[in-house]
Amino acid sequence: MKPSLKIAMIIVGVLAISFAVFTFYSRFSAHQKTLSYQFNGKVDTIIYDNSGKPTVSIHGTKYDLAVTSWDFSHQITIGDSMIKKADSLMIKIFKADGTVIIKQ
């Protein structure tokens, strides 16, 4: 095998491993951050990204809910009440009409 081809393969391998480690670390740290969220209050603002993942603001604090496996399907609206305890992935959404949506 040519030395230049061998070097190219090593570089590609190192890049692939680095990308895998970075992706795993990013997902893990985002999951840990989401797990630490604790809120109880009405949604002040909500922004959905292009894929429909929400970022909500409750009592002026923003919470990025896009990094989890929750599928909100645009169910959260301004004025809904949301409760989430720290170290739990359960979110309760209380709608104005009395409907309760639970996501885990």
pLDDT at 89: 85
Can you tell me the distance from the alpha carbon of 39 to that of 10, in angstroms, rounded to the nearest whole number? 47
pLDDT at 57: 95
Among the residues of the chain, which ranges form H helices?
A: 3-36
Residue found by looking up tokens 């919470």 in the block: 63
pLDDT beneath 50, residues of the chain: none
- CB 89, CB 104: distance < 8 Å: yes
Residue found by looking up tokens 């990094």 in the block: 67
Q: Is the pTM of this model over 0.85?
A: no
pLDDT at 62: 92
Can you tell me the distance from the alpha carbon of 16 to that of 11, in angstroms, rounded to the nearest whole number? 9
